[in-house]
């Protein structure tokens, strides 16, 4: 019975669901409408309320956490468990305890991610420069606000900033924090939103304050005179590039190259690295060095260990006897994250809208924000003093006849009539009467009342001064300047990141010690590359190729040779044979477009091998022109991987030849005409994308079909196709001169 009853209930539910209107119906929607209704609100929420900082230098998560700690009394009180802070912060930030705690960790002194941390920490908070050094759980660590937060929250209770309700309307939180210095530039801030990101590097507090003062006094001030450049919490050495710094100051975009700081211990024959770039970690550096050692690209290192302890970061590299430590470090700078670039993107929310601004504009916006904060503070204090002055003026009237005031109070039968009777008796308003009525009995003496009324004169002076401030932008600017000077005096510290000056013209690539041995290189038509030693090639069988592919180039060369891959998009990609692993004939090899990062649909047109960049390259174009370019035009001082405008794009490229000596070449047109010419008759041009010299004259709708090196065996009468002057139309090919082409 029970089973049957259960079945009937189930069937009833199924029948009810079956009659749901629109149930199971798939409705077609326009993708643009779906994105606009569902995705765009999410994207705007991430941009405005999560990922990008505002002019006070904080994201919402930072602001909620710090304000909670401020309200908990942690600015002047003792440290408390981090778990208490995290739990209380959830009243403003309902995103779970782990994200809140991670936010606090990144702002802590122990984590060392900020130049001026906001959280004074106790316990293990991890390290910004370590990937594996994890922070302890919130129940084990303690924290309070750092003293610099006095400048973050100064006068926040004087209506300097607006407040909004929290997510459940149980309390309020500040929209911004009234920072007395440009915190947005002093502490780094990185965030990734939807379709945009922000990456703000940190600058030295003293330099930022001096620059702000200078710009307030003179809007045409040159920032480079006071703001030297970024200052990273982890130190490091910044490679000075004034043009790039000026670009960051003006546009908010650019890059700064940072090197690790190291010392050489001669007694231990080791290199000690104590500061690294902000964009990497100790573990990432060690992993890269290990990879280089495995690939035999670095052979001078005998051991490596992380000796980081309570005294700070320390990465020790033991080197082999006789190795020059500075040369080794130069190679490590080039090949590992020991030298890295910090990309700047100063994207900040201004009035709820994201804007990429340079340092000049950021300081201008912060000055406007701080001006408004001071104006609100002065207005708040002005109203308070006006209220007090108003009350004291009422009290002054009582001085004339204290006995009368006492008599009025004593003779009033009902309490609620005292205020009204005082108003009538002394001609004062309700607020003044309320103030007089609340005076304690012990204060009803002439001395107390006279002392209170003597404040009237000072209050009137203060009120007049405040009204002058509100009416003068220069006086407000003077207040900002004085506050900045006070901040500098209290919290400034020496630079952690120092500058090194390198003449860019003197930077030379170090010649790596590459094992030099004979190799055979193979390139297929589809772009697969193999490097095989002669011993391995003799023992190998048939070459493995992809279906439909074939070998196009096979050359025997040595391992220290450089390769240039010319593509069909007028670009050349540079590499070295030593960059490729020795392989076997039984594998497909490296796919060059993927390994060297070709553009989409880009294909190899030719491969050129060289050791010293001597000789020339000949470019044969479909319009009959030939360009001779010295191979040295493709040599660069730095290790660039890609060069644009490798050859002219005015006409289709038919073939490329690289040669150290002048040779004769056979040009065949689509009109079956042939022309033999010597490359010595045309001069070389240093410009890579030169259009070349007209060699073969072509009739309308005819083009160069092919180019080959001249071979005497394929021509019965080669003189017939030679000419004394260029350009030339050539001669129609005879059957006996077609050679192998007749078979094709």
Q: Is 216 helix (H, G, I), strand (E, B) or coil?
A: helix
Q: Name the one residue in this structure whose structure tokens are 């203060």.
A: 462
Find residue 523's DSSP bridge partners: 529, 553
Residue 371's Cβ-side half-sphere holds a number of Cα atoms within 13 Å equal to: 18
| Eight-class DSSP state of 312 | B
Between the two ends of the chain, the Cα-to-Cα distance in Å is 90
- Please choose, from the candidates 288, 242, 284, 279, the residue with its C-alpha nearest in 3D space to the C-alpha of residue 259: 279
In the set 101, 129, 135, 140, the catalytic residue is 140
CB 250 within 8 A of CB 358: yes
354 CA to centre of own chain = 16
- Please choose, from the candidates 201, 180, 163, the residue with its C-alpha nearest in 3D space to the C-alpha of residue 64: 163
- Please choose, from the candidates 721, 718, 719, 739, the residue with its C-alpha nearest in 3D space to the C-alpha of residue 730: 721
CB 193 within 8 A of CB 46: yes
CB 150 within 8 A of CB 83: no
For residue 565, CA distances in Å to 107, 570, 632, 679 come to: 49, 11, 15, 22
Question: Alpha helix (H) ranges present in 400-530?
Answer: 402-411, 418-426, 430-437, 446-470, 473-491
What letters, b where the CB count within 10 A reaches 16 and e where it falls short, cover 261-299? bbebeeeeebbebbbbbbbbbbebbbebbeebeeeeebe
264 CA to centre of own chain = 32
* Token duo for residue 245: 């710094």
Q: Name the one residue in this structure whose structure tokens are 């009180």.
A: 77
Rounded distance between C-alpha atoms, residue 108 and residue 102, angstroms: 10
Helix then strand count (H, E) for the chain reads 20, 33
Q: Beta 315-319 vs 261-265: how paired, if at all? A: unpaired
| Eight-class DSSP state of 231 | -
Rounded distance between C-alpha atoms, residue 349 and residue 48, angstroms: 7
Residue 517 annotated among the catalytic residues of the structure: no
Count the residues in the chain: 744
CA angle, 57 as apex, 51 and 139 as ends, to 5°? 70
- Please choose, from the candidates 656, 664, 679, the residue with its C-alpha nearest in 3D space to the C-alpha of residue 553: 656
Q: Name the one residue in this structure whose structure tokens are 């407040």.
A: 163
CB 91 within 8 A of CB 75: no
Q: Which residues form the catalytic set?
A: 140
């Amino acid at each position: 019975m029970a089973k049957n009853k259960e079945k009937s209930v189930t069937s009833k539910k199924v029948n009810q669901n079956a009659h749901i209107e629109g149930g199971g119906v798939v409705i077609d929607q326009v993708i643009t409408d779906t994105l606009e209704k569902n995705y765009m609100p999410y994207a705007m929420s991430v941009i405005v309320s999560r990922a990008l900082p505002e002019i006070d230098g904080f994201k919402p998560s930072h602001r909620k956490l710090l304000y909670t700690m401020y309200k908990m009394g942690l600015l002047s009180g003792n440290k408390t468990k981090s778990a208490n802070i995290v739990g209380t912060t959830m009243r403003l930030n309902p995103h779970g305890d782990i994200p809140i705690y991670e936010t606090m960790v990144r702002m802590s002194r122990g984590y060392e991610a900020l130049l001026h941390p906001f959280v004074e920490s106790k316990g293990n908070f991890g390290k910004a420069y370590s990937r594996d050094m994890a922070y302890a759980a919130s129940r084990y660590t303690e924290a309070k606000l750092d003293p610099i937060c006095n400048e973050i929250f100064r006068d926040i209770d004087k209506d300097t900033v607006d407040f909004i309700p929290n997510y459940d309307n149980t309390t309020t939180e500040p929209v911004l924090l009234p920072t007395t210095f440009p915190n947005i530039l002093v502490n780094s801030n990185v965030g990734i939103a939807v379709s945009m990101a922000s990456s703000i590097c940190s600058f030295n507090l003293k330099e930022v304050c001096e620059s702000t003062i200078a710009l307030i006094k003179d809007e045409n001030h040159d920032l480079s005179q006071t703001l030297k450049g970024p200052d990273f919490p982890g130190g490091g050495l910044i490679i000075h590039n004034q043009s790039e710094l000026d670009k960051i100051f003006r546009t908010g975009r650019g890059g700064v190259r940072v090197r690790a700081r190291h010392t050489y211990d001669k007694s231990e024959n080791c290199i000690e690295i104590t500061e690294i770039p902000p964009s990497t970690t100790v573990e990432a550096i060690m992993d890269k060095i290990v990879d280089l050692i495995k690939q035999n690209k670095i052979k001078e290192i005998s051991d490596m260990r992380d000796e980081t302890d309570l005294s700070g970061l320390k990465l020790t590299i033991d080197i082999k006897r006789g190795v020059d430590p500075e040369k080794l470090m130069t190679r490590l700078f080039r090949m590992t994250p020991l030298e890295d670039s910090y990309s700047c993107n100063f994207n900040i929310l201004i009035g709820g809208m994201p804007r990429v601004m340079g340092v000049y504009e950021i300081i201008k916006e912060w000055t406007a924000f701080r001006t408004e904060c001071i104006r609100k503070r002065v207005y708040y204090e002005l109203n308070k003093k006006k209220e007090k002055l108003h009350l004291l003026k009422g009290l002054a009237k009582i001085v004339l006849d204290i006995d009368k005031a006492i008599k009025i109070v004593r003779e009033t039968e009902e309490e609620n009539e005292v205020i009204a009777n005082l108003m009538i008796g002394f001609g004062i308003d309700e607020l003044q009467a309320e103030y007089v009525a609340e005076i304690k009995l012990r204060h009803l003496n002439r001395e107390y009342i006279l002392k209170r009324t003597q404040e009237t004169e000072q209050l009137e002076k203060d009120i007049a001064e405040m009204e002058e401030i509100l009416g003068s932008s220069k006086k407000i600017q003077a207040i900002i300047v004085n506050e900045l000077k006070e901040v500098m005096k209290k919290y400034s510290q020496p630079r952690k990141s120092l500058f090194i000056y390198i003449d860019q013209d003197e930077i030379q690539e170090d010649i790596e010690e590459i094992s030099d041995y004979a190799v055979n290189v193979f390139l297929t038509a589809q772009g697969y590359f193999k490097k095989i030693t002669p011993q391995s090639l003799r023992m190998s069988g048939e070459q493995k190729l992809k279906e439909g592919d074939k070998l196009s180039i096979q050359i025997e060369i040595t391992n220290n040779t450089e390769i240039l891959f010319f593509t069909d998009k007028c670009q050349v990609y540079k590499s070295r044979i030593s960059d490729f692993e020795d392989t076997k004939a039984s594998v497909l090899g490296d796919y060059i477009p993927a390994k060297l990062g070709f553009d989409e649909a880009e294909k190899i047109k030719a491969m050129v091998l060289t050791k010293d960049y001597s000789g020339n390259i000949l470019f044969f174009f479909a319009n009959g022109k030939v360009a001779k370019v010295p191979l040295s035009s493709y040599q660069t001082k730095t290790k660039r991987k890609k060069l644009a405008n490798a050859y002219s794009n005015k006409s289709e490229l038919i073939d490329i030849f690289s040669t150290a000596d002048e040779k004769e070449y056979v040009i065949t047109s689509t009109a079956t005409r042939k022309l033999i010419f010597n490359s010595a008759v045309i001069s070389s041009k240093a410009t890579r994308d030169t259009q070349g010299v007209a060699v073969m004259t072509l009739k309308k709708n005819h083009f160069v079909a092919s180019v080959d090196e001249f071979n005497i065996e394929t021509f019965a009468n080669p003189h017939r196709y030679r000419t004394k002057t260029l350009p030339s139309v050539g001669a129609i090919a005879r059957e006996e001169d077609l050679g192998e082409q007749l078979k094709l």
